């Protein structure tokens, strides 16, 4: 487990970031008066997510691999990070439910009143259990995509040419 301390640390940081994101959602009214913008707000979490993943894989490269990391090593690190982030994933919806206990009722009411869903569809899709399940499904997918791209950019490049001596 000592080899994974960086990934565990950054998974905890990711979880704190998601809690902060939930607090921002509450503060700016995305769970109440601006609920129409809640899906957009939730989508924007991609930006800090990519930053956290980048910093995590970068730290792994610099501190664990002494500045020289292959694409494979970056992928493995990012996939472990994704595993830990996914395990901690339910913290975000549970915390959101804690700070905004009527969020799902408001979301259902908005979805029905805007004509996006029937009451039955909204009740089935907009609840804590579904939110947690979607996180368990989407977390590994997005984490793998982030990891694949970030590892490609952060891998060490070995140039096989020699400077002209002459």
Residues of the chain above pLDDT 90, percent: 93
pLDDT in the model for residue 1:
66
Instruction: Tell me how far apart the alpha carbons of residues 4 and 126 are, in angstroms, rounded to a whole number.
Output: 35
Burial category of 119 from C-beta neighbours within 10 Å (exposed 0-12, middle 13-18, buried 19 and up): exposed
Question: pLDDT at residue 165 above 60?
Answer: no
* End-to-end Cα, the chain, rounded Å: 51
Strands (E), the chain: none
**pLDDT tens by residue, 36-51:** 999 999 999 999 999 9
pLDDT in the model for residue 157:
85
Centre a 10 Å sphere on the Cβ of residue 109 and count the other Cβ atoms it contains: 15
- What values do phi and psi take at 96, rounded to 5? -60, -40
Instruction: Tell me how far apart the alpha carbons of residues 83 and 136 are, in angstroms, rounded to a whole number.
Output: 10
Question: pLDDT at residue 164 above 60?
Answer: no
**pLDDT tens by residue, 75-121:** 999 999 999 999 999 999 999 999 999 999 999 999 999 999 999 99
Domain ranges of the chain: 2-154
b/e 125-137 (16+ beta carbons within 10 angstroms → b): ebbeeebbeebee
Instruction: Tell me how far apart the alpha carbons of residues 140 and 146 are, in angstroms, rounded to a whole number.
Output: 10
Instruction: Tell me how far apart the alpha carbons of residues 28 and 103 are, in angstroms, rounded to a whole number.
Output: 14
């Amino acid at each position: 487990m000592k080899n994974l301390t960086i990934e565990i640390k950054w998974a905890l940081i990711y979880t704190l970031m998601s809690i902060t994101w939930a607090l921002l959602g509450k503060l700016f009214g995305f769970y109440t008066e601006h609920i129409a913008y809640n899906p957009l707000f939730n989508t924007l979490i991609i930006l800090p997510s990519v930053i956290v993943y980048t910093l995590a894989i970068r730290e792994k490269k610099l501190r664990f691999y002494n500045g020289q990391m292959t694409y494979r090593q970056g992928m493995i690190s990012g996939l472990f990070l994704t595993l830990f982030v996914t395990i901690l994933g339910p913290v975000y919806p549970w915390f959101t439910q804690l700070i905004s206990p009527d969020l799902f009722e408001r979301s259902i009411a908005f979805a029905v009143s805007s004509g996006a869903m029937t009451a039955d569809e909204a009740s089935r899709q907009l609840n804590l259990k579904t939110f947690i399940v979607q996180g368990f499904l989407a977390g590994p997918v997005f984490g793998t995509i982030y990891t694949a791209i970030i590892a490609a950019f952060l891998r060490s490049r070995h140039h096989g040419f020699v400077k002209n001596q002459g």
